[in-house]
Amino acid sequence: MSVRPEHTFAEEYQVSRSFLSTKRREARAQGQRGFTMLELSMVVLILIIITAMAVPQILSTLYWYRLDSAVASVVWAVQSTRYEALMEGYPYQVTFSATNNTYQLASDPTNSGNFGNVGSSIPISGSGITLSGTNAIQFKPYGFVTPGANSSLSFQIKYQGLSKTVAVSNYGNVTVTSP
């Protein structure tokens, strides 16, 4: 009578684990590894959904940057024109054109009230920017600021439904506010 050795549970577990490991290696060797088409499709779908959610936020941020760029250009034009009037000792004027979205510097060296253009008009920013109206701002050589004819010391700049208001004080301080 032959006695069959008894196997413990641990030994049987080890054998079955070894068997499964061997089967996995054989499956890999036969080229059955990688991702299934369903898994790849799910990843692509998730990426498309995330991108669709991000695009409006990216566009909104881009619009704010473009508006801020136009505002910075206007603020620089005001400050540099005031500086020119103080430095040269005669009146200067900057005119913001709502029609062309440009600004034009002008000077009055004879202090006669007749301003002549200095250089050519300069674009405020890229396309799509709109001004609330054409404004001329005059800078006296002693620092005082006045609006030109039919103008005011504040105006709005708009882009893609966003807007900011630029206001110039009587002494040339520029403040920018968002509604």
pLDDT, position 14: 63
The reply to whether 13 falls in a domain is no
Instruction: Look up the CATH number of the domain holding residue 110.
Output: 3.55.40.10
> pTM above the 0.85 mark?
no
Residues 147 and 135: beta-carbon distance below 8 Å:
yes
Q: How far is CA 51 from the centre of its chain?
A: 18
The reply to whether 65 falls in a domain is yes
Residues 151 and 96: beta-carbon distance below 8 Å:
no
pLDDT, position 158: 93
Q: Which pLDDT tens digits describe the chain residue by residue (179 residues)?
A: 555 556 565 566 565 666 666 666 666 656 666 888 998 999 999 999 999 998 888 888 899 999 999 999 999 999 999 999 999 999 999 999 999 899 999 999 998 989 999 999 999 887 788 899 899 999 999 989 999 888 889 999 999 999 999 999 998 899 999 87
Residues 86 and 125: beta-carbon distance below 8 Å:
no
Q: Are strands 174-177 and 135-139 parallel, antiparallel or unpaired?
A: unpaired
Task: Note down the domain range covering 110.
Answer: 54-177
pLDDT, position 137: 94
Residues 141 and 89: beta-carbon distance below 8 Å:
yes
Q: What is the number of domains present in the chain? A: 1
Specify which residues 137 forms β-bridges with: 94, 147
The reply to whether 35 falls in a domain is no
CA distance 126 to 107: 26
Is 176 strand, coil or helix?
A: strand
The reply to whether 152 falls in a domain is yes
